[in-house]
Structures are given as C-alpha cells and as structure tokens.
Structure 1
Amino acid sequence: MLTSLLWILLMGFFVGQIARRLKAPPLFGMILAGIILGPEVANVLRSELLESAQALRTIAVMIILMKAGLGLDREKLAQQGTVAIRLGFLPATFEAVVIAIASLFLFQLDWMTGLLLGCVVGAESPAVIVPGMLRLKSLGWGVIKGIPDTILTGSAVSDVLLLLVFNLLLNFLSQGMDTGITLPGGLTLNALELLPLQVISQIAVGIGLGFCAARWLISLLVRQNWTQNTVQDTLVVAGIALLLVVTAEQIPLFSGYMAVMATGYFLLEFDAPLAREIRKGFDGLWIGAEIMLFVLMGASVQLSVLGDILLPGLLLLALGTLVGRGLGWYLSTLGSNWTPSERLFLLAGNSAKATVQAAIGAIPLAYGIAGGEIILAIAALSILVTAPLGAWAIPTFAPKLLEQGEVDPTKVNISRQVRLLVAVDTSPLSYPIMVKAADLARRGNSEVIVLHVLCTDDPLGLDKLKQNARQVFADIRYQFLTVTGSISEEIVRTAQQYQVDEIIMGKRGERSLSEQILVSSVSQAILETAAIPVIIVGE
C-alpha cells in the first residue's frame, strides 16, 4: 500500500508538471499517470488501494467543495441569483434528456436506461470546475457580474439533482418503482412524483446543516479556543466537513456536497478572518488531494471497454453538450445582463465531467442492469475527453470571453511571491536593518533583494556586508546587488525593475549636520517617489 501511494504521489506530481511545461493542464498528466499505473497498463497499484479509491475521492471532493464555499460572494450571487438557480437545473436536465434520446438510436438502449446514462454523463465535475473558477476569481475574470460564483453554485445544485434522479432510476431498473408515501387525505405519491420535493429538501436541509456547522465551528475555534494554530483549525473543519458527507451517505435526507459548500460560505459570512486562515489550510490540503483524485480517476478508467463505442460515444457527448447544454445555457441566461461572449464561456467553464462519473459510472453494471457496460464506457470516455479539455479551456478562453475586474482578496487567496528590497550601506546600522528584513521575510515567506549603492571605495566594508547578508539570510532566498549612481534614484529604479512590494532602509540617530541632511533627503525622496510601502529602521 505504501509503495502504491508513493507511485501515485510522485508520478502524479511529475507527470502533471511535465504536462504543465508542455502548456497542457496538469490534470491531464495526472490522469495519464493513473492510466499508466492502473490495471489496464502497468498494474502496479495494490488492489486494496483501488478498492478504497472511492473513499479517497470523497475526501478530495470534500476539500474542493469547502474551497468553493469559502470563495463564494454573497453580493454577486444575489445579483445573479436566478441565473445560478437556472444553471443548476436546466443545462443538466436538457443534457440528460438529449443523451437519453440519442442513446436510443446510437446504442439501442431503452428509455429509462438512456436517462440513467444521461444522469451519469450530465453531472458536472467539481474537481475541474471549482479550481478553475477560483483561479478566475483570483485573476479577476468575470468577477464584475459574478460569473465564477454563478457557475460554482449552479454546478453544485445540478449534481444534487442528477444524483437524486440517478438513484431513483437505479432503484426502478433494479427493483421497480413501487415505493412511495401516502399523504393525509389518502393521496399517494410514488418515487417519481416525490422527486421535486426531495431535490428541494436535500438542498434546503444541506444549507441548514451548513449554517449550523459554521456556527458551531466558530464557537469551537474562535470563542472557546480549542485550537492553537491554523493547521489545527483546518483539521477540525475538514473533519466536520467529512462527517457531513459521510452522514449524508448513511442518512440520505440532505446533500452532503451542498452542506460542505454551505459550511464554507457561512464561515466566510460570519467570521472572515477565520475563513481566510481556513482557506489557506485547504489550499495546502488540495495540493495532495488533487494528485490522489486524478491519478485514481485515471486508474479507474477501463480502456478495454472504449474500443467499440469510441465514435458513437464521442457523437453522444457532442450532442449532449452542444444541443442539450447549449439550450440549457441559453434559457438559464435569458433576460440576464450576460453578453453573448459570456454566455459562450459556459461551453468552456460548465461542461467538464470527471468526479461524479468516476464515482457512479460502474454502479449500473454492478447492479446487473442491461447496458451497464455501455454506461461505464461512456462515463470513462467523458472523463478522458472533457476533464482535460475543460481544465485547458477555462483559463484559455476566460481572457478572450470575460471582462476582467478588481480582485476581492477577502474571497480568494492571491498566490504571489512577495519581494522585499533592503537598501544598506557599509555602516553598523546595516546589520539590524537586515535582521529586521529577515524577520519580515520569514513571516511572509518572502524573497529579499539586498541593494548596496556604491558611493565610496570600501572593499573591506563591502565584503563584511556580503558576509552579514549570507549569515542573516541563510534560510531565505535573496540576491545581493551592487549599483552605482544616486542613492534614492537607484533604490526606486531597482524597486521598479524587480517589482518589489516593500522597501526597507535605515535612519541613523546621532550624526553630523551634513549627514543628517543627506539621510533626510534620501529618505524623503524615496518616500515621495516610491509607489510602495517604505519601512524605516532606526538605531
């Protein structure tokens, strides 16, 4: 088992990075690594690990849904609320129906089995869509109209709907639709007639449980101080979120996915500082979870079942996306303020399949349903085609089709390396300046540029300065630069050239009048001309 985990983590990471360097989504490389490692090719993964793949996928999906909830914007959702609701129902419904109709002719399936196939294929992948939308939010694409938030919410709702219909059809095809309830007055409703009530109740109860879970977590982590650091906070939140998912599987009265997403959303609404720290923790968890998710997804793909259905399967996927989803997208955005190019972006941002297909694609075959092998093959094909395509299309077409707005740092983490510029001379004050800069760099995991403007010929002092820099910045990435020219002009120029975030320099105490005037003029010039914060360190 340990060897298999090492294969997954190391090969998944490096093949993903090779794909990234080739300008392809890392997800594509991870799925390819899973196919190579899986039973269809090298068969180096232990059967015990493959049997537990569903549990590992559940953990990964929980992580990404929590990240989605922590990134939702209430104001943007209120602005596009009806569009989000329609995106949750219409595209998935129309795609499932079109696929069911097409399967009658392409694969000679019966109507109910075709609908079952439509539910499997129509579900959207949170593992592809959520990271993509959060990435767009961190770059500002589509945030003015809340397009990423709308797609995130709609995707979660559509998965709830299709999973409910899938279970209903599965029970009907395996047992018959003879279950129902009798209401007061003698009115009896069968499972199909109960479906709308189930969808509403699953979403509503999931949101309610998310609200309660967020309140409880804030009480535990903030008011009662059960934890001491961000790592512990993240572990507690992840544990509660996973408990919601597991409970939903055991007691299917609510959507575990919706509950997790709602927990993240309400954490952000009720305690933004806590949500920011939790978001950082889940960013770290996702690094490993993403590799596990997509490598195991690739390992579960059965290439041997794809041969006979490849061309008709591709035609089926194209009809479902372009005809079914196209009609659903049009009706979902009808009457909204979305432009034609923004509507077109839904083709890239709202059509990826992966997680749900990997989770439920093999279930009909396991239940002995006629056509189960076709459903499994189409599910595998949808993963191989749409997951890498969606992961590539989202960042590729967003700059072309969406408007860029201002990034809201309270909703997403902005990943960028911070640089500090430390301006020093050969005086004794340079050492405490570098010590202060090193302290700030360690707190923010920043890079440092040590700048010395040569004014006099002092080789011994320069050597001592470089030695001190090596000692102080031993565990920090830094560069040592020497330039000639006007001190203030060179500091500002270097700051602009290297795009630093802060300037750190010294200010001495007891000096001669001429030196005080010089230091004052340099500091004043930098404060007036630098467009970034300047930290002055005194003796």
Structure 2
Amino acid sequence: MLASVLWVLIIGFFGGQLARRLGAPPLIGMILVGIILGPQVRNVISEDVLGAADELRTLAVMIILMKAGLGLDREKLAQQGSVALRLGFLPAAIEAIAIAFAAMVIFKFDFPIGLLLGCVIGAESPAVIVPGMLRLKSLGWGVTKGIPDAILTGSALSDVLLLLVFSLLLSFLGDGGIEQIVLPGGFTFTALQLLPLQIIMQIFLGVLLGYLAARLLVVVLTKQNWTQNIVQDTVIAASLALFLVIVAHDLPYFSGYLAAMAMGFFLIELDAPLARRLRGGFDSLWIVAEIFLFVLLGATIQLQVLEKILLPGILILAIGLLIGRMLGWYLSTLGSNWNWRERLFLLPGNSAKATVQAAIGAIPLSQGIAGGETILAIAALSILITAPLGAWSTMTFAPKLLTKGEVDPTKVTVSTRTLLLAAVDTSSLATEVLTKVADLARRSNGEAIILHVINTSSQQDIQQIKQQTKQLLSDIKYEFLTITGAVPEEIIRIAEEFHVTAIVMGKRGHQPWEQVLLGSVSQAVLETSHIPVILLENREYDTNSL
C-alpha cells in the first residue's frame, strides 16, 4: 500500500508537471498516469488504495469546496441576484432531461433509466471547476460582474439537485416503485412529490450547519486560541469540514459538501484574518489532494467498455451540452447584465465532469439496473473528454471572453512574489542593509537582489561585499549585480526593471564625503521612486513610500 501511495504521488506529480510544460492542464497528465498505473494497464496500484478511492475522492472534494467557500464574494453574489441560483438548477436539470430523451432514442432506454444517465452526466465537477474559477478570480477575469462566484455557487447547488434525483431514481428502479411516505395527520406523499421539499431542506440545513461550524471555528481558533500556527488551524478546519461530509452520508438530510463550502464562505464574514490564513492552508492541502483525486480517477476508468459506445456516447454528451445545458445557460442569464461573450464563456467554464461521475457512475451497474454498463461507460467517457477540455478551455478563453477587473485579495489567494532590492556601498552600513534584507526575506519567504553601483570601488571592495552577502544571505535566494552609472538613477532603474517589492538602503556613511554622497543618494531615491523605500540608520529603519 505504501509503495502504491508513493507511485501515485511521485509519478502523478511529474505526470502533471509534464502536461503543464507541454501547455496542457496538469490534471490531464495525472489522469493518464492513473490509467497507466491502474488495473487496465500496469496494475501497480494495490487493491487497498483502489478500495479507498471513494473515501480519498471525498476528502479531496471536501478540500476543494472549502477552497471555493473561502474564495466566494458575498457582494458579487448579491449583485448577480438570481443568476447564481438559476445556474444551480436550470442547466443541470435541462441537460439531464435532454440526455434522457436522447438515450431513449439512441440506446432504447425507458425514461427513468435515461434520466438516471442524465443525472450522472449532468452533474458538474467541483474538482475541475473550482480551481479554474479561483484561478480566474486571482487574475481578475470576470470579477467585476462576479461571474466566477456565480459559477462556483451554481455548481455546488446543481450537484445537490442531481444527486437527490439520482438517489430517488435508484430507489424507484431497484424496488420497482416510488416509496410512499406517510406524514403525521395521515397525509401520504411519494418521494417524488417531496423532492422539492428535500432540495430546499438539503440546501437550508447545509447552509445553516456551515454557518454554525464557522462560528465554532472562530470560537476555537480565534477567541479561545487553542492553536498556535496555521498548520493546526488548517487541521482543525479540515477535520470539521470532513465531519460534516461524513455525517451527511449517514444522515442525508443536508448536503455535506454544501455545508463545507458554506463554512468557508461564512468564515470570511465572521473572521476575515482567519479565513485568509486558512485559505493558504487549504491551498497547500490541495497540492496533495489533487494528485490523489485525478490519478485515482484515471485508475477507475474502464477502458474496455468504452469501445462499444464511443460514437453514441460522444453524441449523447454533445446533445446534453450543446442543446440541454446551453438552453439552461441562456435561461439562467436572461435579464442579467452579462453580455453575449460572458454567456458564451459558460461553455468552457461550466461544463467539466469528473468527480461526481467517478463516484456514482458504477452504482447502477452494481445494483443490477438495466443499462448499468452503458451508464458506466458514458460516465468514464465524459471524464476523459470534458475534464481535460474544461480545464484547458477555461484558461484559454477567459482572456478572450471576459473583462479583466480589479482583484480582491481579501477573497482569494493572490500569488505575489516578494523581491527585495538591497542597495549597498562599501561602508560598514552595508552589513545593516544586508542583515535587514535577509530578515525581511525570511519573514516573507522572499528573494533578494543585491545591487552595488560601482563608483570608486576596487575589485577587492566588491569581493568583500560579495563574501559578506554570501555569509548573511546563505539561506536566501539572491542575485548579485554590479553596474556603473549614476547611483540614484541606477537603483531606481533596476528596481523598476525587476519589479521589486521594496528598496532597502543606508541613509548615510561614516566618512564626511560619504555622508554628503549617501545623503544625496537616499534623498534622490526617496523623491523619485514609486516603490517603497526602507532607510537604515544606526540599526533602526524608517519606511517611506512615494
């Protein structure tokens, strides 16, 4: 089992990075690695790991939905009005119905089995859609109108709807009829009649439990201070989210995944600093979870059953997507402020299938339902086609179809690089500058540029600065530059060329002529630099930004 875990992690990681270097989404490489390592080809993944695939997928989906919740923007969702709510029901429902009718013609299914197939295929994949939408938010694409937020919310709600209908159809097809439910007072209803109430209850209780869980986290992690660092914060938050998901499996009265997403969302409202810390922690968890998720997805794909239904399966997917789902997208955005380009973006941004199909695709076959093998094959086909295509097309077409807006760093992780510029001379104050840069770089996990503008320095002086730099910044990634020219102009030019975060320099030297020179240099840099400048003097520093 440990060897299998090692294969999954190492080969899955490098398979994903190879795909990225070739210009494809990493998940393509991970899925291909899973197919190769799985029982269909090399069969090197142990039965224990394959047997735990469903549980590992559940854990991975919980992590990605917490990331989604921690990245939602309440103001943007309120601005969209009912668009997010409609995206949660109309596209998935209409796609499922379109697939049901198409399956009746192509595969000669009856309507319940066709709708069962529609529920399997119509569900959206949070494992593909959530990272894509959070990436768009971090880059600013579509954030002005809240398009990524609407897609994130709609994706979570649509899975609630289709999974409920799927469970209802399984009960009907397995028992030969729809169960009668007797309520107090002698009122009798079928499960189908109670479906709208079940959907409302699952959503309401999921959101409520997510809110209560968020408040509990704030009490435990912030007010009571039971943890000491971000790792412990993340472990407690992830454990609570996983607990909600597990309880929802045993008590199916609320959506555990929706509760996990809601918990992340409410954490932003209740304690934004805690939410920011957890966002970074779940980003780290996702790095490992993503590998397991997509490698095990590839390992569970049944290649031998794809050959028979390849062309009709592609036709079914095309009908569901290009007829059913596009009609749902049109109705969902009707009356909104989305233009035709933004509506068209829903085609690449909101159509990926993966995790839900892998989780429920084999259930009809295992329960002996007619057409179960075909349902499983089309579920596998939908993963192979739409997951890589959706991940690739989201990032490819977003710049062409969406408008770039201002990124809100309080709602999403923004990748920033801390790069410090240390401007040093040959005086003893260079030690202070290098020491401060090393300290700031360690605190921010940053890098440094050490700049010496040659004026009257000898080669021996420069070698001494290099040796001192190597000693003080031994654990910091840095680049040492020596140039000639006017000191203030060159400092600012290099800072702007490398897009540094801040300039660190000394305020004055020790010799009278150096006092004049460095005084004028620091004054000139302060007056002309648009980049923050940190001045050091006698082991103390001031920060000035112009």
- Which range, TM-score by smaller chain? over 0.9
Please name the residue that 1:370 is paired with.
370
Alignment of 1:370-519 (within 5 A): 370-508=370-508, 511-512=511-512, 514-519=513-518
Please name the residue that 1:290 is paired with.
290
Asked if 1 retains the 8 angstrom alpha-carbon contact of 2:302 and 2:377, the reply is yes
Asked if 1 retains the 8 angstrom alpha-carbon contact of 2:12 and 2:34, the reply is yes
- Structure 1 residue 180, shift from structure 2 partner: 3.2
Asked if 2 retains the 8 angstrom alpha-carbon contact of 1:73 and 1:411, the reply is yes
Please name the residue that 1:343 is paired with.
343
CA distance in 2, matches of 1:520, 1:175: 88
Asked if 2 retains the 8 angstrom alpha-carbon contact of 1:509 and 1:538, the reply is no
Asked if 1 retains the 8 angstrom alpha-carbon contact of 2:426 and 2:457, the reply is no
Question: Secondary structure in 2 aligned to 1:13?
Answer: helix
Please name the residue that 1:319 is paired with.
319
Alignment of 1:86-485 (within 5 A): 86-485=86-485
- Structure 1 residue 420, shift from structure 2 partner: 0.7
Asked if 1 retains the 8 angstrom alpha-carbon contact of 2:178 and 2:192, the reply is no
- Structure 1 residue 177, shift from structure 2 partner: 3.3
Amino acid at match of 1:520: G
- Structure 1 residue 81, shift from structure 2 partner: 2.8
Asked if 1 retains the 8 angstrom alpha-carbon contact of 2:427 and 2:510, the reply is no
- Structure 1 residue 255, shift from structure 2 partner: 0.1
- Structure 1 residue 515, shift from structure 2 partner: 3.5
Asked if 2 retains the 8 angstrom alpha-carbon contact of 1:15 and 1:29, the reply is yes
Amino acid at match of 2:291: I
- Structure 1 residue 179, shift from structure 2 partner: 2.2
- Identity rate of aligned residues, in percent? 66
CA distance in 2, matches of 1:460, 1:509: 19
1:391-418 CA distances to partner (integer Å, 9 max, x unpaired)?
0010000000000000000011111322
Asked if 2 retains the 8 angstrom alpha-carbon contact of 1:38 and 1:44, the reply is yes
Asked if 1 retains the 8 angstrom alpha-carbon contact of 2:241 and 2:260, the reply is yes
Asked if 2 retains the 8 angstrom alpha-carbon contact of 1:421 and 1:448, the reply is yes
Q: Where do 5+ consecutive residues of structure 1 fail to align?
A: none
Please say which of residues 105-114 and 517-526 is displaced more in the overlay: 517-526
Asked if 2 retains the 8 angstrom alpha-carbon contact of 1:450 and 1:478, the reply is yes
CA distance in 1, matches of 2:394, 2:152: 13
Question: Secondary structure in 1 aligned to 2:287?
Answer: helix
Please name the residue that 2:28 is paired with.
28
Amino acid at match of 2:519: S
Please name the residue that 1:523 is paired with.
522
Question: Secondary structure in 1 aligned to 2:531?
Answer: coil
Please say which of residues 514-523 and 199-208 is displaced more in the overlay: 514-523
Amino acid at match of 1:521: S
CA distance in 1, matches of 2:303, 2:531: 55
Asked if 2 retains the 8 angstrom alpha-carbon contact of 1:422 and 1:437, the reply is yes
Amino acid at match of 2:93: T
CA distance in 1, matches of 2:18, 2:416: 22
- Structure 1 residue 181, shift from structure 2 partner: 2.5
Asked if 1 retains the 8 angstrom alpha-carbon contact of 2:509 and 2:518, the reply is no
- Structure 1 residue 187, shift from structure 2 partner: 2.7
Question: Secondary structure in 1 aligned to 2:299?
Answer: helix
Asked if 1 retains the 8 angstrom alpha-carbon contact of 2:180 and 2:191, the reply is yes
Question: Secondary structure in 2 aligned to 1:449?
Answer: strand
CA distance in 1, matches of 2:240, 2:177: 35
Asked if 2 retains the 8 angstrom alpha-carbon contact of 1:177 and 1:190, the reply is no
Q: 1:60 to 1:419 in 2, by over 3 A?
A: same
Question: Secondary structure in 2 aligned to 1:67?
Answer: helix
- Structure 1 residue 105, shift from structure 2 partner: 1.2
Asked if 2 retains the 8 angstrom alpha-carbon contact of 1:177 and 1:191, the reply is no
- Structure 1 residue 509, shift from structure 2 partner: 6.7
Amino acid at match of 2:529: A
Asked if 2 retains the 8 angstrom alpha-carbon contact of 1:451 and 1:482, the reply is yes
Question: Secondary structure in 1 aligned to 2:88?
Answer: helix
1:35-87 CA distances to partner (integer Å, 9 max, x unpaired)?
00000001000011000000000010000000000000000000113000000
Asked if 2 retains the 8 angstrom alpha-carbon contact of 1:137 and 1:412, the reply is yes
- Structure 1 residue 25, shift from structure 2 partner: 0.6
Asked if 2 retains the 8 angstrom alpha-carbon contact of 1:141 and 1:398, the reply is yes
CA distance in 2, matches of 1:179, 1:389: 40
- Structure 1 residue 446, shift from structure 2 partner: 0.8
CA distance in 2, matches of 1:392, 1:180: 46
Asked if 2 retains the 8 angstrom alpha-carbon contact of 1:503 and 1:532, the reply is yes
- Structure 1 residue 511, shift from structure 2 partner: 4.8
Please say which of residues 340-349 and 470-479 is displaced more in the overlay: 470-479
CA distance in 2, matches of 1:531, 1:380: 54
Asked if 2 retains the 8 angstrom alpha-carbon contact of 1:447 and 1:476, the reply is yes
Amino acid at match of 1:74: R
CA distance in 2, matches of 1:518, 1:435: 22
- Structure 1 residue 186, shift from structure 2 partner: 3.3
Alignment of 1:33-72 (within 5 A): 33-72=33-72
After superposition, the CA RMSD in angstroms is 1.0
1:438-464 CA distances to partner (integer Å, 9 max, x unpaired)?
010011111100000001132222111
Amino acid at match of 1:427: S
Asked if 1 retains the 8 angstrom alpha-carbon contact of 2:172 and 2:179, the reply is no
Please name the residue that 2:544 is paired with.
none
Amino acid at match of 2:515: Q
- Structure 1 residue 284, shift from structure 2 partner: 0.3
Amino acid at match of 2:436: K
Asked if 2 retains the 8 angstrom alpha-carbon contact of 1:39 and 1:299, the reply is yes
Asked if 2 retains the 8 angstrom alpha-carbon contact of 1:309 and 1:377, the reply is yes
Amino acid at match of 1:176: G
Please name the residue that 1:81 is paired with.
81
CA distance in 2, matches of 1:193, 1:392: 40
Asked if 1 retains the 8 angstrom alpha-carbon contact of 2:508 and 2:514, the reply is no
Q: Under a length normalisation based on structure 2, what TM-score does the superposition of the two structures give? A: 0.97
Q: Under a length normalisation based on structure 1, what TM-score does the superposition of the two structures give? A: 0.99
- Structure 1 residue 110, shift from structure 2 partner: 1.2
Please name the residue that 1:537 is paired with.
536
CA distance in 2, matches of 1:352, 1:86: 18
- Structure 1 residue 185, shift from structure 2 partner: 4.7
Amino acid at match of 1:525: A
Question: Secondary structure in 1 aligned to 2:89?
Answer: helix
Q: How many residues align?
A: 538
CA distance in 2, matches of 1:362, 1:529: 66
Please name the residue that 2:8 is paired with.
8
CA distance in 2, matches of 1:191, 1:50: 34
1:81-116 CA distances to partner (integer Å, 9 max, x unpaired)?
300000000000000000000001111111100000
- Structure 1 residue 478, shift from structure 2 partner: 0.4
Question: Secondary structure in 2 aligned to 1:307?
Answer: coil
Asked if 1 retains the 8 angstrom alpha-carbon contact of 2:508 and 2:519, the reply is no
Q: Where do 5+ consecutive residues of structure 2 fail to align?
A: 539-546
Please name the residue that 2:542 is paired with.
none
- Structure 1 residue 508, shift from structure 2 partner: 3.0
Please say which of residues 178-187 and 280-289 is displaced more in the overlay: 178-187
- Structure 1 residue 531, shift from structure 2 partner: 1.3
